[in-house]
Amino acid sequence: MSSLTSFILLFSLLPYTPLAQDQPAHRRFEYKYSFKGPHVTLPDGTVPFWDKYGDAIASPDEVRLVPSLRHHSGSIWTKQNASFTHWELEVSFRIAGHGRQGAEGLAVWYTKEQGRSGTVYGSADFWDGIGIIFDTNDKDLKENNPAILIVGNNGKLNYDHESDGSSQALDSCIKNFRNTIRPFRAKITYYQRTLRVSVFKGMSPSDDAFELCAEVQNMIIPSSGYFGISAATGILADDHDVLSFLTYSLSRTWEESLTSQIPDSEREKFEKEFEDFQKEMEKNMEDFQKQHPKADEDAFESDNQRELDMVLAGQNRVLEELRVLKGRLKMTVEEQKRYRDFLKDSALNETTTVKKENVSV
């Protein structure tokens, strides 16, 4: 089985962990609104089904929205607009830099039009839809950043950078997502008119442990929209890299699900289309491996492999420390034994002396 097939299968088989009691019955992976390393790009550098803008650069492993340079911005948007009634996004990104303070931040979007470029974290202001903002720069100096904010806009609101969006946020939470050891993972769910942002708190990538960060009920969003992610730097600089952006459509019942609504002939067409896409990706991977015969293993090293390597390296360190401890313990035991023998000898000598004294008396 190819790695791409296993990747797709993995997503279809993953158990769905509920966040609330009223849960969707069906969750479908939407590959035309998703990307994930190590299959982000085609050989010509484009990301299938996505448009890049500004300083964004895509590689097989990730999309670098902004490099670690001042006053840069970039974004990536789905080519097609989606009209899922309910949906869920799982985004994994890394914001890293040397400064104590973050450079600006990143935002995830669902908007009527593509934001492309602009003054709001690399995307257009006066958007119609929602922005989930990951603000790293504490402009109002209230020491409440990095923060995650949900900001809704009907196309008329001018984003308030001066207050770090706090005057406009419908809900927010303070969370450290910059310079984290592992890439940061967030889940954004729009279901039954409730928008929830939850963040990963698990220990390993195979966990599915998310905790709620922000929630807005009765939220009306455009009936169709583009998904996007953007980032910007200001007078400071940070790298802003997106490792994966996964979209799922959700439905309350199987009958309501998009899969069940598709007529058989259409479904066959979609399946064929998906198969072709899969074949194309596999061919690209083979071509890449042919072109990079030495670096192929590193280039296509999976997340799991990387995880495993880290675990093994950790275990080796623990083993090494145990060896040192064992050595120290042995020395202590020997020292105690020597001391005990010394005491025993001293006691014997004393007895002898006492006996001798007794004899002499």
Q: Site residues (CB under 5 A) for Ca ion?
A: 135, 137-140, 142, 144-145, 164
| Residue 69: CB minimum distance to Ca ion, A | 18
**Could you give the C-alpha distances from 268 to 26, 172, 274, 275, 338, in angstroms and in order?**
20, 43, 10, 10, 82
Q: Which is nearer to Ca ion, 137 or 198 (CB)?
A: 137
Alpha carbons 19 and 215: distance in angstroms, whole number: 12
Q: Which is nearer to Ca ion, 145 or 153 (CB)?
A: 145
Q: Which is nearer to Ca ion, 4 or 106 (CB)?
A: 106
Alpha carbons 183 and 185: distance in angstroms, whole number: 6
**Could you give the C-alpha distances from 316 to 203, 304, 305, 330, in angstroms and in order?**
19, 18, 16, 21
Helix (H) or strand (E) holding 212: strand 210-216
Output DSSP code: residue 178.
Answer: B
| Residue 140: CB minimum distance to Ca ion, A | 4
Residue with tokens 């072709």: 276
Q: Which is nearer to Ca ion, 140 or 303 (CB)?
A: 140
Q: Which is nearer to Ca ion, 113 or 138 (CB)?
A: 138
| Residue 168: CB minimum distance to Ca ion, A | 12
> Is beta strand 63-66 parallel, antiparallel or unpaired with respect to 184-191?
unpaired
Q: Which is nearer to Ca ion, 144 or 305 (CB)?
A: 144
| Residue 65: CB minimum distance to Ca ion, A | 16
What values do phi and psi take at 288, rounded to 5?
Answer: -60, -45
| Residue 163: CB minimum distance to Ca ion, A | 7
Q: Which of 126, 177, 174, 178 is nearest to 152 (CA)?
A: 126
| C-alpha 9, offset from chain centre | 20
| Residue 162: CB minimum distance to Ca ion, A | 9
| Residue 214: CB minimum distance to Ca ion, A | 15
Q: Which is nearer to Ca ion, 142 or 328 (CB)?
A: 142
> Is beta strand 147-154 parallel, antiparallel or unpaired with respect to 128-135?
antiparallel
Alpha carbons 186 and 91: distance in angstroms, whole number: 5
State the residue number with the nearest CB to Ca ion.
Answer: 164
**Could you give the C-alpha distances from 92 to 143, 187, 257, in angstroms and in order?**
25, 9, 26
